[in-house]
């Protein structure tokens, strides 16, 4: 027998909990399905519902901004450009120049020694493979040929490296026992620039006498000549 008071109390409790039973199942024999806070009131645990998607102004579902999901990786720091040593002597080449290697900056196993047949009767001798001479050149736009005059003892003591900027070339004379010119190093410069010209040892007991620089026309340089 229904008691009006107990039924009213149950209904009031359900309303106070914030929800009513849905799908009463009249005539079906099904138990009422209760959702929301009513289940909480009856002690049935609820699963947390996923958050509702935020809609854009036009009513369409908003797409999460990828930039807000994860922090962007920091860009790698820019690699600083290699700067020429401030104490290097500077020479303006112009249309051409004879560079006495003794006036370059010397380091490692490089020393000025007397040498018969050399310009000024002296040259720089590489006494070990750490020997190095270098100078800063002010070059105009155009093509240049660098001819290095050296004296080598034999085929095991004749090679050296020449570099202009970051490009390096291995050179050696064709004959031994006297001052000889090596094959020219040809470079093409589309614009005026200051570059470090350096010679360093590949083998020992090699004399470096002088460097003759000749300027030509950019278009007349060999097609294989490197562009700087």
Q: Which two tokens stand for residue 198?
A: 């350096």
Closest CA to 119 of 213, 211, 215: 211
pLDDT tens figures, 102-111:
999 999 999 9
Among the CATH numbers 3.30.70.1350, 3.40.50.1820, 2.60.120.260, 1.10.630.10, which is that of 90-220? 2.60.120.260
Cβ atoms of 113 and 125 closer than 8 Å: yes
Domain ranges of the chain: 1-47, 90-220
Q: Three-class SS of residue 188?
A: strand
pLDDT tens figures, 38-97:
444 445 455 555 555 555 566 655 555 544 555 566 655 544 444 456 678 899 998 889
Task: Look at residue 23 in the predicted model and tell me its pLDDT.
Answer: 44
């Amino acid at each position: 027998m229904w008691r009006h008071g107990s039924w009213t109390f149950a209904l009031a409790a359900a309303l106070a909990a914030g929800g009513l039973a849905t799908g009463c199942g009249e005539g079906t024999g099904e138990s009422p399905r209760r959702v929301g806070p009513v289940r909480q009131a009856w002690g049935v645990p609820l699963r947390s519902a996923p958050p509702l998607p935020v809609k854009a102004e036009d009513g369409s579902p908003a797409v999460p901004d990828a930039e807000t999901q994860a922090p962007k990786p920091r860009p790698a720091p820019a690699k600083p450009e290699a700067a020429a040593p401030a104490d290097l002597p500077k020479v303006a080449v112009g249309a051409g120049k004879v560079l006495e290697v003794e006036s370059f900056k010397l380091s490692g196993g490089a020393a000025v020694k007397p040498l018969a047949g050399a310009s000024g009767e002296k040259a720089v001798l590489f006494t070990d493979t750490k020997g190095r001479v270098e100078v800063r050149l002010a070059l105009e736009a155009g093509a240049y040929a660098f001819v290095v005059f050296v004296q080598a003892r034999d085929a095991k003591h004749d090679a050296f490296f020449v570099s202009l900027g970051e490009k390096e070339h291995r050179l050696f004379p064709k004959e031994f026992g006297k001052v000889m010119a090596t094959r020219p190093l040809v470079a093409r410069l589309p614009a005026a620039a200051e570059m470090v010209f350096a010679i360093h040892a590949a083998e020992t007991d090699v004399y470096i006498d002088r460097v003759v620089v000749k300027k030509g026309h950019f278009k007349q340089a060999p097609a294989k000549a490197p562009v700087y």
